[in-house]
Copies of this chain bind each other. A is one copy, B any other.
Amino acid sequence: MNSSAILLLNCPDHQGIITEVTKFITDYQGNIIYLDQYVDTIDKMLFMRIEWELDGFLIPRDKIKEYFSTLFSHRFQMEFNVYFSDVKPRMAIFVSKMSHCLYDLLARYKAGDWNVDIPCIISNHEDLRYVADQFDIPYYVWPVNKDHSNRKEVEKAEMELLRKENISFIVLARYMQIISDEMIKEYPRHIINIHHSFLPAFIGANPYRQAYERGVKIIGATCHYVTEELDAGPIIEQDVVRITHKDTPDSLRLKGRDLEKIVLSRGVTKHIERKILTYKNKTIIFG
């Protein structure tokens, strides 16, 4: 497969931007293989994803960003990112004690479903080392004290590892610790969490217990980017499953696990494919 460039942009909507951008790529002999755009008619914003083959494109790949910036960025108040399909993102996974999301992620990785590298798994517990071992992925444990007194040191060590491994984004696969603001700032819109409820219902701890107490007839799971405010970041994907009065907190936990792993993996897929734009506190997900 040929390498391609992926451009994700957003800017205030004006007539002609789509024409200009597609003309630019076509004029310099880029073969467009994907184009999708969306206009937010309330905020009057344009969002766009274009992908074109690098083969034969007259502008060298390391100049694309500069040219695009010069020609369009200021003129249209455009924010944009360029990615290349042959540059694999590097993903770190954080886990605590539950294996279902981790297995789901690693099974896809091992099957070659994703254009991604996973150089490390990080945890506050030893429990899931055997899973990492099964897949031959280095597993790092930094236990957090009960009083959280060593959290700063732990985060420092984690950050060093993330930098050393050149990690591009983080997946919290039922990681039961709060992420510090420092780490969030280092990875803005690049930390993906799975929350085991249909957000914004049941924020915080024990959502299945909360759902049981409230007597809902449907439970959900939510994949979102982590921001400073707990469980309040941009939502990437949600799904639900029907329950009945017969369900207990335990059976909800079991049913919820299937939701959690599928919803998380769908979100991670979209992120790896560069199909997510964030704007304000929301996501635009291209198809």
Contacts and interface: CB of A to CB of B under 8 A. Distances in A.
A47 to B, nearest CB: 8
Given A18-B22, A198-B198, A262-B258, A218 B244 contact: no
B218 A285 contact: no
Given A35-B37, A200-B202, A283-B215, A107 B100 contact: yes
Contact of A99 (B15, B110, B199): B110
Counted per complex, copies of this chain come to: 4
A242 B237 CA distance: 10
Interface in A242-280: 242, 244-246, 248, 254, 258, 262, 265-266, 280
A39 B154 CA distance: 47
Contact of A38 (B19, B103, B245, B254): B245
A19 B22 contact: yes
A134 to B, nearest CB: 4
Contacts of A31: 15
Nearest to A30: B15
Nearest to A245: B284
The 5 closest A-B CB pairs, nearest first, are A215-B282, A103-B107, A201-B201, A134-B134, A217-B238
Interface of A: 15-16, 18-19, 22-23, 26, 31-35, 37-42, 99-100, 103-104, 107-108, 110-111, 113, 134-135, 198-202, 214-218, 220, 234-240, 242, 244-246, 248, 254, 258, 262, 265-266, 280-285, 287
5 contacts: A103-B103, A215-B282, A217-B235, A218-B239, A246-B287
